[in-house]
Amino acid sequence: MPESALVALPPPPDRSRQVDDPLEAAGFGNEVLAAAERLIGPPQRATAAQRLVDEMANIQLALQATDVAALRRSAGLIGRLLGRDVEAQERAEQLAEQLDICLLRADAELRGLQRDMVAQQRQAARVDVAVTAIEQWADAGEAMPAPTQEAVQLALQRRLQHLRGVARLRQIEADQLHLLHAQGLELSERYQRIRDVLLPVWRQQALAFRAAQMPARLQQAADSQARILDEVVAMQARLR
């Protein structure tokens, strides 16, 4: 049973009917607005995407534990004067020792993100249904014969403008939910690429370098690290 069926949205009124009562004109569409509110429900709080990006920032820092020069550059001149590069180095070394734990936490955030994405899809579908119903009421009101009294006519026009305004705002809400879902999908794909492809390659090349101390291996490990960092930066940019 689709969720939209759980709350019945009232059909628009007969377009041949004439509204001559001022109270009816002022409250035109109350039924559909109230039903739409019940259908849509309260806004959803989705925070897993930001937490996943934060956890990826920890992984990024962990990968820089052996790159003192990069940490010094990221701290900046003022930061180095304040000793922030030393603090970052200590934090990076700590995270490097806990890299697998960071990945476990990131995996948990990924599952939370996937749940948020399902909720966003469902919420967007409910909002789309509500927008269609509100617009149908506004269309019906505009197609009705004009009220005989000017005051009632003005009241109905104002009410129809209000319905259109609510529909536009709800459409913006639906568009934002669709955008959040798309961003979540991209973040999910980026993280899984980091975890399943780039990190194993980086680890393999880093181990090979430590075993053989070969400059070529060092460059390959650095290249893998750079690709991972690029993915993290891209993930962070999606939430700005």
Instruction: Give 112-141 pLDDT, tens digit per residue.
Output: 999 999 999 999 999 999 999 999 999 999
**Among 14-28, 90-104, 123-137, 178-192, where is mean pLDDT lowest?**
90-104
For the chain, the domains span 18-238
* Dist CA 116 CA 110 (whole Å): 10
On the question of pLDDT at 100 being above 90, the answer is no
Mean pLDDT over the full length of the chain: 82
* Dist CA 75 CA 191 (whole Å): 25
* Dist CA 193 CA 229 (whole Å): 12
* Dist CA 176 CA 170 (whole Å): 10
Instruction: Give 185-197 pLDDT, tens digit per residue.
Output: 999 998 998 888 8
pLDDT value at position 47? 86
Q: Which two tokens stand for residue 217?
A: 């291996």
Instruction: Give 42-63 pLDDT, tens digit per residue.
Output: 887 878 899 999 888 888 777 7
